[in-house]
Amino acid sequence: MKKLNKKYLWLSGLASVLLLGACSSESTDEVEEPVEAEGSETDEQVLNVQLDVEVASMDPQIATDGTSFEVIANIIEGLYQTDSDGKAIPALVESAEKGEDGLSYTFKLREDATWSNGDPVTANDFVYAWRRLADPDTGSEYSYIMGIAGLVNANEVLDGEKAPEELGVQATDDYTLEVQLANPVPYFESLMSFIPFFPMNEDFMDEVGDSYGTSPDTLLSNGAFTVSSYEPAATSIELDKNEDYFDADSVVLDGVDYQVIKDSQQAMLSYQNGEVDVVTLAGEQVDLFKDDPEFVNVQAGYLWYISPNTLVEGLENENLRKALATSFDKQQITDTILKDGSVPADYIIPDGLAVGPDGKDFRETSDTYLEFDPEAAKESLEAAKAELGKDTFTFGLVVEDTESAINVSQVLKSQIESNLDGVTIEIEQMPKKTRLELMKQGDYDLGLTRWGPDYADPMTYADLWVTDGNNNDGSWSNAEYDELIASSINGELSLDNEARWEALKETESILMNEAGVLPVYQKGNAVMMQDNVSGFDFHAVGLPRVYKFAVKE
């Protein structure tokens, strides 16, 4: 049998426990080895992928999480896509002309791209989608990224001062898209492979209205796959190859089937039984399978951190936030709980994200902050108690109901309470979508959350914490920080790459020194992938996983 013996030992051991638990009055001398799932042998190349959280939204301009982005990217494409090296390459773009001053782009679109209802994909589909993204009435949490992209009038549209029609994008004919920028944006083409900039069919949106993305009939595809089975919060999603996709000849898979399995033991059982081809490992599983030839370990760009709600009594205090930030051992979390290649984060801009004008990674020439230091944590807490006139504090910690998030939160609670006398942490676990909604509403104390990089530049993190920013859930605010970010996006600093790079280092220093957020770890991905699967791309920036060129033999 092709699986390693230690896998069967693990599975058989688990089966024994389950059997004894169900029939405690009986005994057994042997346990049968697992068999291949019925129907697993098929001529169809359908990739079965485990997810540990549900898809939150199938709407490109509304979705905010990596899981939703991953599924959306399988059915819709934008101007650019990401290659195996993480670089932006043309997708719907046939040719691109950049103005000499870097303030304009003219994109000629492919004329052989169609939506799954037969409509051609046109330049107006981008104009409509981008105006929709920027329109305050849409309520997109990613609307701010239009300002990051530097389009003319973007900020005025976002603020409701100008109409979406005044945004710096227009269709001069069916297949020509012209973009005007207020300032040069060195990562603009990279941004164009990011989901919020994907096109939408205006006529179809008018037809389905608010029901968009609630069923296969209310979804359109112009990408490698179409949706054959889906409903909101579904635990399974089925995609079929899109035979009308302009690059269908490059797609070998007949489909992708997603299964939401939150429990890591159940997920591994499904993998062993051949029911899933790709599964994420957690905790002790990593030690057990790390030497298996089917084990894959990838350093990701996701940064997990605690977001303190500074509007909650006590958490407005900088010393209390610093006490919390330095009271837990990140190394223990990564080495004994996660074991998946994750590393402690004494920073908020991830390692390996972007290279500066000096040719060096951002982290290579930047400082570290908020290291685990229980004595310093105690000193900060005493200062906070004196400043606040209180000796005890109780805070809720909202976490999603995935195994890794729950395990990490339990360590955080244990160590914070052990190292900070008078501080109590109450874990509140819930589905990811609920956690995101509560944090967005500001209805929380502390939130264990994450951010994945949308493009290869420190700004993809730095702009999160500007005052009143869409993703500044904790409402932290610093005027100097705001000024540096604004200037780096469309001010004087945006015209000087070296000065801008140094300014972004300064913004990280300001945020960390005030403990505006409390970094925990940079994510690693420990994955098992069946040995008959190849061509599966893992990315640290933008989309975590891409299946377009995957093959299942």
DSSP 286: H
The better pLDDT of the pair 489, 240 is held by 240
The pLDDT of residue 88 is 84
Q: What is the DSSP letter of 120?
A: B
Give tens-digit pLDDT for 187-235.
899 899 999 999 999 999 999 999 999 999 999 999 999 999 999 989 9
Distance from C-alpha of 379 to C-alpha of 375, rounded to nearest angstrom: 6
Output the CATH code of domain 299-525.
3.10.105.10
Residue 392 has pLDDT above 80, yes or no: yes
* 197/82 Cα distance (integer angstroms): 14
Residue 116, CA distances (Å) to 59, 222, 546 in order: 16, 6, 20
Is residue 57 helix, strand or coil?
A: coil
Domain 56-212 in CATH 2.60.40.10? The answer is no
pLDDT, residue 43, reads 66
User: Per-domain residue ranges for the chain?
Assistant: 1-34, 56-212, 299-525
Task: Tell me which residue of 7, 499, 86, 5 sits closest to 279, measured CA to CA.
Answer: 7
- Span of 26-30, 294-298, 319-323, 525-529 with lowest mean pLDDT: 26-30
Percent of the chain at pLDDT above 90? 75
Q: What is the DSSP string of 339-399?
A: -SS-EE-SSSS-TTS-B-TTSSBGGGGS-------HHHHHHHHHHHHHHHT-S-EEEEEEE
Question: What span, in angstroms and rounded, lies between the C-alpha atoms of 222 and 110?
Answer: 12
Q: What is the pLDDT of residues 108-131, one digit of tens each?
A: 999 999 999 999 999 999 999 999
Q: How does residue 84 score in pLDDT terms, banded at 50, 70 and 90?
A: confident
What is the length of the chain?
553
